[in-house]
Amino acid sequence: MKYLWRYYAFLAKFKWQMAGFLAVAAVSVVVETVRPYWLKLILDAAQNNNWGQIIFYFGLFGASTLVGEWISSLANYLGDRVLIPFAREIRETIFKKILELDFAYHVEKNTGSLISAFKRGDAAVFNLFSDLHQELFRVLIMLLVTLYFLAVTSAEMALMLMALFAINMGLIWWLIKINLQTRTDFNAAEDEVSGVITDSMINYETVKFFAGEEKEQDRLGQKFSVWTRDLWRFSNSFRVMDISIGTTSGVGMLLILWVVIRRLGHGYSIGDLVMVTGFLTSLYYQFFNLFFRVRSVVKNMIDLQKYFEILDNDVMVKDPAVKAKAEQAAGKIEFREVGFTYPAGRDETLAGINLTIAGGERVAFVGKSGAGKTTLVKLLLRFYDPARGIIKLDGVNIKDMKKSELRKAIGVVPQEPIMFNNTVKFNLAYGKEFAADREIEEAARRANILEFIEGLPLKWETQVGERGIKLSGGQKQRLAIARALLSDPRVLIFDEATSNLDSESEGKIQASLDEAAKERTMIIIAHRFSTIRNVDRIFVLDDGVVVEEGNHQQLIAKNGLYRMLWSLQARGNRKLMLN
């Protein structure tokens, strides 16, 4: 019920439009349902050979048929006037929430399951609106109208109809529990199938590299075995429903009709028989509709729950209530006694980090895999907050800065840049809204990619494909460098941003980066030590602690961990050259 209340909290914003829609819908159902009564009056008038009444009631019957269709169309139109903006607001709210959620949430999420939840949730928003406010509302109005006319004809028939309705509701509820359990099992199996398909499509290159087509087909086949079993159980639950609802409804309707038939000629006319038959025939099929709609409501509530549960996730890294501003934009960075453990981790990733990077200084973080280099950057960007200690940018605790302003002050070029499935221009200009064309071109020139872009058939409007698949690794990195330069940040972070480039391009870009770094702080996460020989300082990390600090020559002279790592890499490079 919690999620249904939330559903109606969104819908409450359209309460007056909703009231108008329901009023017109009610009139539409009444006009349609009352038609058997006009037929009764026509037949009764015909038995009395009263052509004046026949024509009058025939006119009412015709009007209810034609006008009813017009009113029904108007009701559907008014319903859409509510549903379309209502559904859009929910989708935009949940999308906004997903974007706001922390880095940790996105690391842990299963993309295939999340997309399935999003699709089913969107469908549930539409389906619930239709089920509750059109179909079930329609059944309720039809039942009330039918009960009224049966009660006027015979209280006994009205009581029998109410008893039949109560029996069917109990039966429906029992059948729905069975149906929904099978639906829940099938949804879980469907998520597993979607997860394998999505995983294989995202990692198609790995599949191709290792000739894993048959392996992926087998993996999907295993999931489909469970999927097939659960789908049969789900499908067979509908057959049970057909037999159960059909039997009870049919027997109940026949008993009510038998009451009318027995009393023909004893106060009941042929017109009464036709009227009761018309009402019961319409209502008979509504019992099946009632089952489907109640089941649909409960099923969609399950889908809606998973959808709305996204809104229940807390944002752990929060913006401050009152934001602080730095007195000067120099790019000075300070880590003070910073300790951190990843949410799912047991051992401390960083332990008491103390370091200061002066504004405009060029530094590098090096160390073995897992030493904590990338974690330092994630903390600086507030993807996570440290468990203890503080981090400052230009004298301001980054917790006191808005995350958006903090991240605009820091440009990042990752080792494996990911591109939007959009144009070259869209991807390059992503970091700076309303950037002028000359600024975009200058950033591309400084990243040594302008000539490549201008040589493309569609130039700046060239589509790069999903995740930038149409570009080479080096092209994506140069585009990512241009994107970072365009945003003009105080701090530039390069996660070995030139590792996928050829020597000529690397030299040109390195010169551009040196030029760009003159007026801002630069941090390099170094995997290839040859790229950091000329930085001002190098921080060497080991097991989450800074164990050495200095420039290249100083660290080589110390004969410590840095020299060992340097020697191992240099020896490996010599072997490659000899081979």
Q: Dump the DSSP string for 492-527.
A: EEEESTTTTS-HHHHHHHHHHHHHHGGGSEEEEE-S
Higher pLDDT, 291 or 53: 53
Confidence tier at 409 by pLDDT (50, 70, 90): confident
Decide: helix, strand or coil at residue 108: helix
The per-residue pLDDT for 537 is: 92
Whole-number percent of the chain with pLDDT over 90: 8
- Using pLDDT thresholds of 50, 70 and 90, give the confidence band for residue 499: low
Give, as one character, the DSSP assignment of residue 345.
-
- DSSP-derived secondary structure letter, 322: S
pLDDT per residue as tens digits for the range 165-205: 788 778 777 877 777 778 778 878 887 887 778 778 777 76
Is position 487 within any domain?
no
Q: Is residue 329 one of the residues assigned to a domain?
A: no
Instruction: Kindly state whether residue 503 falls inside one of the protein's structural domains.
Output: no
- The single residue listed with the structure tokens 């200009």 is 429
- Predicted confidence band at 515 (pLDDT cuts at 50, 70, 90)? low
pLDDT digits (tens, 9 = 90+) for 124-142: 899 899 888 888 888 888 8
**How far apart are alpha carbons 473 and 506 in whole angstroms?**
13
Alpha-carbon distances, residue 537 vs 106, 127, 390, 493, 570 (angstroms): 33, 61, 22, 15, 20
Domain assignment present for residue 51? The answer is yes
Output the average pLDDT for the chain.
81
In a domain, 335, yes or no: no
Question: Is 83 part of any domain?
Answer: yes
Q: Which residue has the higher pLDDT, 464 or 106?
A: 464
Indicate whether 579 pLDDT > 50.
no
What secondary structure letter does DSSP report for 268?
B
Most confident stretch, 30-44, 340-354, 434-448, 466-480:
434-448
How many independent structural domains does the chain possess?
1
Residue 288 structural domain: 2-312
Mean pLDDT of 384-404: 89
Assess whether pLDDT exceeds 90 at residue 78: yes
Local structure of 389: helix, strand or coil: strand
For range 27-45, the mean pLDDT: 80
What one-letter code names the amino acid at 23?
Answer: A
In a domain, 234, yes or no: yes
Handedness of CA 237, 239, 243, 249 (dihedral sign): positive
pLDDT tens track for 327-378:
667 888 999 999 888 876 666 688 888 999 998 889 999 888 888 888 899 8
Structural domain contains residue 25: yes
**Interatomic CA distance for residues 323 and 321, integer angstroms:** 6
pLDDT per residue over 260-305, tens digit each?
A: 777 776 667 777 777 777 777 777 677 777 777 777 787 788 788 8
CATH number reported for the structural domain that contains residue 277 in this entry = 1.20.1560.10
Are the C-beta atoms of 384 and 465 separated by less than 8 Å? no
